[in-house]
């Protein structure tokens, strides 16, 4: 027969396991967006071509990681990449240059957001960075 103490330990383990799996699912597997629990906001960057950029590439602001690249879609004028900026990242001015650069000599690309001023207005959910405000590596 199972004692009360064993049942309580099993229940505590089950509750902790569900909480940990829930946290991992929301934070790392990005399952939270299905129920409206996003930890990021999206910014669209318009590019003439990908410049080697790919989904899940790093997004930095002044060299500090602030997010990841989401889906990249082909458009009539080039491509549009969705940048998923973490909500707890520093506020990023909307007057900036988005630079697709090499992370290493191997050629892994990332997006670096380089501001041209430090005051607002700032990027927010749904902001768009025009192609004129971007730089990609030479082919």
pTM recorded for the entire structure: 0.73
* For the chain, the helix, strand and coil percentages under 3-state DSSP, each to the nearest 5: 20, 40, 40
Mind giving me the DSSP string for 87-112? TTSPP-BSSEEEEEEESSTT--EEEE
pLDDT at 139: 67
Please state, rounded to an integer, the average pLDDT across all residues of the chain: 86
Mean pLDDT of 110-130: 89
Strand partners, 135: 99
Local confidence band at 45 (pLDDT 50, 70, 90 cut-offs):
very high
pLDDT at 106: 74
Residues of the chain with pLDDT > 70, as a percent, come to 91
């Amino acid at each position: 027969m199972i004692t009360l103490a064993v049942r309580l330990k099993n229940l505590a383990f089950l509750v902790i396991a569900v909480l940990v799996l829930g946290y991992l699912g929301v934070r790392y597997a990005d399952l939270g967006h299905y129920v409206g629990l996003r930890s990021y906001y999206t910014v669209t960057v318009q590019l003439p071509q990908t410049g080697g950029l790919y989904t899940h590439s790093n997004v930095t602001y002044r060299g500090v990681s602030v997010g990841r690249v989401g889906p990249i879609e082909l458009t009539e004028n080039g491509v549009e990449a969705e940048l998923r900026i973490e909500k707890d990242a520093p506020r990023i001015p909307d007057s900036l240059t988005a630079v697709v650069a090499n992370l290493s000599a191997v050629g892994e690309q990332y997006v670096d957001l380089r501001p041209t001023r430090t005051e607002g207005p700032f990027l927010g959910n749904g902001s768009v960075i025009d192609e004129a405000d971007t730089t990609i590596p030479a082919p």
